[in-house]
Amino acid sequence: MISSKAQVSLEFLLVFAAFLGVLGLFAPLISQLYSKSVFGLDVLEGRRFSDDFLFRASELALMGDESAFLVAARPKNPWFLSVRENLFVLSIKSSSGFEHEFIRTLPIRCEPFSASFDSPVFFRLLREKNSIVIDADSDS
């Protein structure tokens, strides 16, 4: 016959083992949910960045030469920015395989520019000779 303290301890161990088993089943789902939520926040930041970039380019289209603006990007995943002529393309990729792309048409011609980054960066948009020149500065 098992004493009541030993029986309670054995029951606790069985319940705890069942809990760990269930937790082990849900851990990958929780990890994937976390990855999707971080990627979702990064997509929102990418939308903010692309809207801000387009807005600043529109303002520069109305301003004179040597006018400039800074646009900040704060990615959590790797981003790839490509600007050619009047086309702005921002690709966001996560380590989990998720991908999103923003494609915008700019109101003014831009000098070709491409950059890949995964940490905060400031982009300087400078109007020169009826086009925009872009250069990047790390936030660190």
What would the pLDDT profile of 47-100 be if each residue is shown by its tens digit? Answer: 999 999 999 999 999 999 999 999 999 999 999 999 998 999 999 998 888 899
Identity of residue 87 = L
Classify 76 as helix, strand or coil: coil
Percent of the chain with pLDDT over 90: 62
The H-assigned helical ranges of 63-130 are none
Q: Quick check: 1 pLDDT over 90?
A: no
Tokens of 91: 């690709």
Q: What are the strands of the beta sheet with 121-128, ordered from one edge?
A: 68-73, 121-128, 131-138, 99-117, 79-93
pTM for this structure? 0.78
Tokens of 6: 């030993």
- pLDDT confidence band for 134 (50 / 70 / 90): very high
What pLDDT is attached to residue 42?
Answer: 94
Per the CB < 8 A criterion, the answer to whether 103 and 118 are in contact is no
